[in-house]
Amino acid sequence: MREILFRGKRLGTGEWIYGSLLQEKINGATCECIIVDLVYARDRRQIVVNTGGQYTGLQDKRGAKIFEGDIIRLDFDTRSTTEIVEFRNGRFVTVDPLKPFRDEALVVFVKNATIIGNIHDNPELCQLPR
How many CB atoms are closer than 10 A to CB 129? 5
* Domain match, 29 and 72 both: no
Q: How does residue 25 score in pLDDT terms, banded at 50, 70 and 90?
A: confident
Q: Is residue 1 part of a domain?
A: no
- Domain coverage including residue 119: 56-127
Tell me the CATH number at 123. 2.30.30.290
Q: Same domain, yes or no, for 21 and 60?
A: no
CA distance 66 to 58: 6
Tell me: do 66 and 105 sit in the same domain: yes
- The answer to whether residues 62 and 36 belong to one domain is no
No. of helices (H) and no. of strands (E), the chain: 0, 11
6, 18 contact by CB (below 8 A) = yes
Residue 24 lies in a domain: yes
Single-letter amino acid code for the residue at 62 = R
With 70 as the cut, is the pLDDT of residue 123 above it? yes
* Whether residues 22 and 79 fall in one domain: no
Q: Examine residue 51 and state whether it is found in any structural domain, yes or no.
A: no
Tell me how many domains the chain contains: 2
Q: How far apart are CA 9 and CA 59, in angstroms?
A: 20
77-117 pLDDT tens trace: 888 888 899 988 888 888 887 776 665 665 556 678 899 99
Q: How confident is the model at residue 41 (pLDDT cuts 50, 70, 90)?
A: low
> Could you tell me the pTM of the whole model?
0.84
C-alpha span between 117 and 96 (Å, rounded): 14
What local confidence, expressed as pLDDT, does residue 107 receive? 56
Nearest of 34, 112, 46 to residue 77 by alpha carbon: 112
